[in-house]
């Protein structure tokens, strides 16, 4: 894919800015914006090559917590509105976060994500699309991206981020953010054609149940009944 093509992605173009932002996260964010309680399962993140990180999303700072505590640079997908946030909006632009239009299936964003994966990088996706205290029912856009890219998916459970960013002493005296990486998997799919919508939905549900099992019961929401979980389209790596 060349620079002139739509959705072209030039990894080297963004690395200098990302290195500076990582320095800010390491040296400023964890002193002033959020308390990190624990990060486990980092060995489940591939050391090289493309991958998709799927997270539950309970607080504004979740993607930053994940990005700042893993050894690889990660390119998040985020609602288009983050670019317009006062002050905060400059950081997604510098990092080249992939903006997503949440009204329907945003094929432009998905193709941009495919280009990043093709370059061997890691994408961060919150399949729910926005913040919720417990998991919501998710449609098939996430699984479309995973099937098209054929890359490993790493489920990441987040807890303890509500209330951050904060400079209040009371919040810092409470438990901080906990990040847990689960075992990576891929979707199994025979044939060259994209699966039909009902199959994509089942794939997404199977992935969400994996994430739900990693979360405390009150966070599981629509995927609380783990007896409904299946792995018909899941292959663990």
Examine residue 153 and state whether it is found in any structural domain, yes or no: yes
**Average pLDDT, integer, range 215-232:** 98
Higher pLDDT among residues 139 and 177, named by residue: 177
Asked if the structure places residue 124 within a domain, the reply is yes
Asked if residue 7 has pLDDT above 70, the reply is no
Residue 4 lies in a domain: no
Residue 88 covered by a domain: yes
134 confidence band (pLDDT: 50, 70, 90):
very high
pLDDT at 3: 41
- As given in the structure block, the two tokens for residue 21 are 């932002």
Instruction: Report pLDDT for 167.
Output: 86
Q: Could you give the percent of the chain with pLDDT greater than 70?
A: 97
The SS3 of residue 140 is: coil
Please confirm whether the linkage preceding 111 is cis (ω < 30° from 0). no
Most confident of 43-57, 80-94, 137-151: 43-57
Instruction: Note whether 148 and 115 are within 8 A (CB).
Output: no
Would you say residue 123 has pLDDT above 50? Answer: yes
Q: Quote the DSSP letter at residue 81.
A: G
Q: What is the CATH number of the domain that holds 106?
A: 3.40.1130
- Check residue 26 and give its pLDDT: 87
CB atoms within 10 A of CB 24: 11
Q: Would 97 be classed as within a structural domain?
A: yes
CA 152-219-224 angle, 5° bins: 80
Q: Is residue 142 part of a domain?
A: yes
Which residues span the domain enclosing 15? 11-236
Tokens of 44: 């489940």
Rounded mean pLDDT of the chain?
91
Residue 30 DSSP one-character state: H
| Global pTM value | 0.92
Taking each helix axis from N to C terminus, what angle separates 197-214 and 141-149, rounded to the nearest 10 degrees? 100
Report phi then psi at 12, rounded to 5: -65, -30
Q: Is 166 or 57 the better-scoring residue by pLDDT?
A: 57
d(CA 186, CA 147): 8
* Residue 89 predicted with pLDDT over 90: no
Read off the pLDDT of each residue in 188-216 and give the average, rounded to a whole number: 93
Tokens at residue 228, please? 């409904």
Instruction: Assess if residue 159 is contained within a domain.
Output: yes
Q: What is the pLDDT of residue 33?
A: 83
User: Around 134, how many Cα atoms within 13 Å sit in the side-chain half-sphere?
Assistant: 10
Question: Other C-beta atoms within 10 Å of 191: how many?
Answer: 6
Question: Does 2 have pLDDT greater than 50?
Answer: no
Per DSSP bridges, beta strands 36-40 and 177-181 are parallel
Q: For residue 5, is it within any domain?
A: no
Whether the bond into 156 is cis, omega within 30 of 0: no
Domain count, the chain: 1
22/24 Cα distance (integer angstroms): 5
């Amino acid at each position: 894919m060349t620079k002139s093509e739509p959705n072209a992605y030039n990894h080297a173009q963004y690395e200098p800015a990302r290195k500076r932002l990582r320095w800010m996260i390491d040296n400023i964010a964890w002193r002033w914006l959020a308390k990190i309680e624990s990060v486990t399962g980092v060995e489940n993140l591939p050391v090289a090559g493309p991958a998709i990180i799927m997270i539950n999303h309970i607080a504004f700072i979740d993607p930053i917590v994940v990005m700042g505590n893993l050894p690889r640079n990660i390119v998040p997908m985020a609602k288009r509105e983050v670019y317009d946030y006062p002050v905060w909006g400059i950081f997604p632009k510098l990092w080249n976060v992939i903006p997503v239009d949440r009204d329907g299936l945003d094929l432009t964003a998905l193709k941009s994500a495919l280009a990043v994966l093709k370059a061997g990088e890691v994408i961060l996706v919150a399949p729910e699309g926005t913040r919720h205290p417990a998991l919501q029912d998710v449609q098939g856009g996430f699984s479309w991206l995973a099937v098209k890219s054929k890359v490993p998916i790493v489920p990441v459970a987040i807890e303890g981020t509500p209330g951050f960013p904060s400079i209040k002493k009371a919040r810092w005296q409470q438990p901080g953010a906990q990040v847990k990486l689960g075992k990576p998997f891929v979707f199994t799919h025979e044939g060259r054609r994209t699966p039909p919508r009902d199959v994509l939905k089942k794939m997404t549900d199977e992935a969400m149940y994996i994430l739900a099992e990693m979360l405390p019961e009150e966070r599981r929401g629509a995927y609380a009944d783990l007896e409904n979980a299946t792995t018909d389209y899941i292959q663990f790596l």
